[in-house]
Amino acid sequence: MKATDTPKAAENRHTLQYHRGEMMDKVLYEWFSLKRSEGVTITGPMLQEKGRDLAKNMGDEGACQLFDGWLHRFKVRHGIRKLDISGESKSANLPLAEEFVDRFAKIVEEHNLTSEQICNADETGLFYHCLPRTTLARESEGDVEGFKQSKDRLTVLCCANMAGTHKVKLCVVCKHKKPRCFKNMNYLPVDYRNQ
């Protein structure tokens, strides 16, 4: 059994053969452990990209294709699991939503509306400086402390009809009247408004 294997991984092992790229695997796990001890948020794609870089540096061109299957096996070998950083969860008012569905169905029937006539618009926030809210962590780690999230955001209004035949151009709302990034820009694929 290797030093980085957890007892859980050793129980499931059917062979004593070592996998290909054992040195790269060991170095990658050491990098992962170091970053997690610093409190850095690590995601699966970040782990795969670092693995590719290490494989190239070690001259193992065959290991440069680190797909999801490799990532899954790497996490099982080292007892890595996915943790949510924020413990917040949204809860919807389901009884009120069911009541609205019934009321809306009556309105549609009353006015004989088609799917082309029914539109839905909703706003969403685009937090373009936000860090990931999940991280990969060792099995021994309990809670994960997060960083204060950036509040820089755009508000985006999306609207389309139920049939999907008519989609209104996105409306984007931001703080600045004339952002610097719009300088020398002749065309925007969205309607832009400032607060």
What confidence score (pLDDT) does residue 78 get?
Answer: 87
Residues ≥6 apart with Cβ < 8 Å to 44 = 68, 71, 82, 136
Q: What angle do the packed helices 44-57 and 68-78 form, to 10 degrees?
A: 90
pLDDT per residue as tens, the chain (195 positions): 455 555 556 566 555 554 557 888 888 899 988 888 887 888 888 888 888 888 888 776 665 567 778 888 888 888 888 776 654 444 567 788 889 999 999 999 999 999 999 999 999 888 877 777 677 777 777 666 666 777 778 899 999 999 989 999 999 998 888 888 888 888 888 899 988
Look at strands 134-138 and 80-84 and give their pairing: antiparallel
Long-range CB pairs of 55-59 (<8 Å, 24+ gap) are 55/21, 55/24, 58/23, 58/24, 58/27
Distance (Å, rounded) from C-alpha 53 to C-alpha 66? Answer: 11
- What does the DSSP 8-state code read for residue 178? S
pTM of the full structure: 0.44
